[in-house]
Amino acid sequence: MKAKLSAIAAALMVSLSMAFPAAVMASPEDDLKAFREYFKKRFPNVPFEDFVNGVYALDPAAREQWEAIEEFPPYEINIEKGKDLFHKPFKNGKTMASCFPDYKQGIKQNYPYFDTKSGKVKTLELEINECREKNGEKPFPWGKGPIADVSAYLAYLSRGKKIDVKVPNKAAEAEYDKGKHFFYAKRGQLNLACADCHVYYAGYHIRADLLSPALGQVTHFPVYRSKWGGLGTLHRRYSGCNKQVRAKPFPMQGPEYRALEYFHTYMSNGLPINGPGARK
């Protein structure tokens, strides 16, 4: 018994020390390769594209229940609402389509992107509100409600399109590095990093909850959660995961979460958009 336990403890130590160090300077391409390799080794039976299904790629019983839910998607009404909002004329007569001319062919897979003009990381939600303000409308509140509905509509139009986030220059790489640092940094009273739960211990249970791999986490957002009783954005989820470790969450769509989304989404490059999704 004793020997077995120390063997388990030793195995855990090894798995932690094998984890790639956050401080090492590496190009985004190198990071991406290492990230994919890590999850491929950890979950050899999960095909690359199946990572978009989060915990359901790991737990066949939960997957069955979830597939039943997806047959009558709880977010369908949100896609409809988002579509209406997207095509409803502003007071000036224009619609959101004027800001997103390519929306029909699917645009979500290209977000977030580094805007070389402003030097900022632009997320889809940020641009939805920028579009409203540019047209003399009030911005939507972040997190849930109409912003999530519009985002769900645009995600839906991108289904099957592969995530293609780019890091075009040094300034963009600086934002990427900020996001990467955020992801690997311990925080909160409980001293936990995103990577602790979603890289090193992905596939383990925290209480009864299975921890999803970080690879593929962003593909199905915005997400309908039964816990929320509705749809929420990725930044709402970031905020929840920060509170969970008793850290003060950052403002949604502030520079910290946008940088995090930039890194986090880049790590899922090549995976197809399957949003909006449904989760527990």
Partner 1 sequence: MRKPILITMAASLGVLVACATAQDKSATPASESAIEQGKKLAFDRKKGNCLACHQIAGGTLPGDIGPPLVAMKARYPDKAKLREQIWDARKKNPHTIMPPFGAHRILTEKEIDLVTDFIYTL
Which spans of this chain sit near ligand HEC (rule: CB under 6 A)? 5, 9, 12, 54-55, 192, 194, 196-198, 206, 209, 211-212, 217, 223, 237-238, 241-242, 244-245, 264, 279
Position closest to ligand HEC via CB: 194
Determine if 243 is a binding residue for partner 1 (CB under 8 A): no
Residue 131 appears among annotated catalytic residues: no
Rounded least distance, CB 199 to partner 1, Å: 11
In the complex with partner 1, the residue whose CB is nearer, 17 or 105, is: 17
The neighbouring-strand residues paired with 120 are: 115
Q: Which residue in 20, 90, 103, 201 binds partner 1 (CB under 8 A)?
A: 201
Q: Which two tokens stand for residue 205?
A: 């249970």
What's phi and psi for 108, nearest 5 deg? -55, -35
What's phi and psi for 231, nearest 5 deg? -95, 145
Q: Which residue in 55, 58, 148, 192 binds partner 1 (CB under 8 A)?
A: 192
In the complex with ligand HEC, the residue whose CB is nearer, 111 or 238, is: 238
Catalytic residue selected from 131, 194, 197, 241? 241
- Other Cβ atoms closer than 10 A to 231: 29
Q: Which two tokens stand for residue 76?
A: 């369908």
Cα(261)–Cα(222) distance, integer angstroms: 13
Cα(211)–Cα(221) distance, integer angstroms: 17
Residues designated as active site = 241
